[in-house]
Amino acid sequence: MTSTVAPDERPRAGPRARLAEATAHRYRRFLILLAILGPGIIAANAGNDAGGIITYAAAGAEFGYRTLFFMVLVTVALVVVQEMCSRLGVYTGKGLAALIREEFSLRVAAFALLCLVVANVGLVVSEFAGIGAALELFGVSKYISVPVSAVAIWALVLFGSYRYAERIFLVLSLVFFAYPIAAVLSHPHWSTVLSNLAWPHFLTSSRFLLLGVALIGTTITPYMQLYISAAVADKGISVEDYHYERVDAVAGAIFGDVISLFIIIATAAAVRRPMQLRTAQDAAAALKPVAGSFASHLFGIGLFGASALAGAVVPLSTAYAISESVGVERSVSRRYQEAKLFLGLFTGQVLIGSVVALATSNLVQLLIVTQVLNGIITPVILGFVLVMANRRSLLGDAANGPVFRVVSTACVMAVSVMSLIVLTQTVLSLFGIGSA
């Protein structure tokens, strides 16, 4: 006679077996997290590009540690915006450009796309100019470094899969650790640093306000948000695994802004007297009095990695946006014959960016122009993101809840107002008005 054991009477696993099972479960979760990590970290780090580095270094050189608390507030806004964009990409399987085309007026979407394309082409030029400026710190002519880097970035995207390209982008992100090292070598007053991080030490001067607004404008840029949503969709992250992608989006935003804080700290510690920086070379040279040439070289390494990363991400965001808007194939994993428009747009931007970068000598003026264009598009893109993330008809239960809706609305409104201030101030300065 065969005996049966009731479910509640079956032998239970011992402590060692339960521990092994729990360990295996945690290991599986860790492997899933590693597989998903990428889009959020890459997007946030790409924001620390040539223009960003100049802005952060200028903040440290001119106002010391006073802008650190301001950057803490900016980090909160970036976390909110980047999380919404990644959520839209996962739950819809589409990038922002495709969603904007489907959810809004065609004319409004076309205007936003046109501004994005023009602004991004200018940014691509500035990234390749940043590559040239970084390697010139090591004695390498830009006429060698820019063409070689352009070919390398182009080949990486054109002949590699998305997973391979993403791994290279993540490796490039490692160079940002050069800035914490440079900050430590600059011997800052850590008690003062912590005080400025925890409590606002703002000034009432118009210059401080303008630079604070510029910090927002260079930290939260449209191409970052277009890239993360499109990259998440391209990677095929499922709804079930979204909580892992949320970790990637939030951690990426925090990591990117922590690096920005270290750039400010390094320059603030190195510069004895307040001074205005106008180029990335000035920022690197400013570290020499305190930290020596080693820190200057670290700054150059960070600038190269940042510019190379953004030199790939910015044209990719444009290619994603245009391809999505017209409904054609868009993926780094596709061959040229399968995604001609997508890869052709990427190729054209890299070519234009590298050629113009070799021809231009005034990087600062170039950054001013691209900042104006980004000032136009940033409020528009963030407005679209907020409206779509609030729509239950689009995201269902994944739409913003009551609390997050209030927080995200406040963040987007603050960023939009500040971006418009940047635009106004920059336009006035081009006419010599209020350019103190």
The CATH number for 422's domain is 1.20.1740.10
In a domain, 31, yes or no: no
Query: How many angstroms separate the CA atoms of 115 and 186, rounded?
Result: 40
Q: Is the per-residue pLDDT at 271 higher than 80?
A: no
Query: Which distant-in-sequence residues (6+ apart) come within 8 Å of 259 by Cβ?
Result: 45, 48, 176, 179, 180
In a domain, 18, yes or no: no
* Residue 16, amino acid: R
Over range 365-372, report the average pLDDT. 63
Query: How many angstroms separate the CA atoms of 46 and 347, rounded?
Result: 19
pLDDT tens figures, 216-226:
877 888 778 88
Residue with tokens 């970084």: 134
Band (pLDDT 50/70/90 cuts) for residue 67 is very high
Query: How many angstroms separate the CA atoms of 307 and 128, rounded?
Result: 7
pLDDT tens figures, 186-238:
788 899 999 999 998 888 777 787 788 778 877 888 778 888 888 787 777 78
- pTM attached to this predicted model: 0.75
Highest mean pLDDT among 168-172, 263-267, 326-330: 263-267
Rounded alpha-carbon distances, angstroms, from residue 298 to 176, 185, 222, 312: 9, 10, 28, 22
Domain count, the chain: 1
Q: Is the per-residue pLDDT at 12 higher than 80?
A: no
Asked whether 376 and 115 are in contact (CB, 8 A), the reply is yes
Q: Is the per-residue pLDDT at 297 higher than 80?
A: no
* pLDDT for position 355: 93
Q: Is the per-residue pLDDT at 389 higher than 90?
A: yes
| Nearest in space to 126 (alpha carbons), one of 176, 55, 42, 226 | 55
In a domain, 23, yes or no: no
Over range 330-341, report the average pLDDT. 74
In a domain, 436, yes or no: no
In a domain, 28, yes or no: no
DSSP letters of 187-222?
A: ---HHHHHHHHHS-----SHHHHHHHHHHHHHHS-H
pLDDT tens figures, 19-36:
555 555 554 554 444 444
In a domain, 294, yes or no: yes
Highest mean pLDDT among 35-44, 112-121, 337-346: 337-346
Q: Is the per-residue pLDDT at 335 higher than 90?
A: no
* pLDDT for position 291: 47
Over range 35-51, report the average pLDDT. 65
Q: Taking the CA atoms of the chain, what radius of gyration do you get in angstroms?
A: 23
Task: Tell me how crowded residue 431 is: count the other CB atoms within 10 A of its CB.
Answer: 8
In a domain, 389, yes or no: yes
pLDDT tens figures, 92-124:
988 888 888 888 877 887 887 887 787 788 888
Full domain range(s) for residue 403: 43-430
Kindly report the average pLDDT of the chain as a whole number: 78
* pLDDT for position 163: 64
Count of H helices and E strands in the chain? 19, 0
Asked whether 178 and 301 are in contact (CB, 8 A), the reply is yes
Query: How many angstroms separate the CA atoms of 315 and 223, rounded?
Result: 9
Q: What is the 8-class DSSP label of residue 360?
A: -
In a domain, 6, yes or no: no
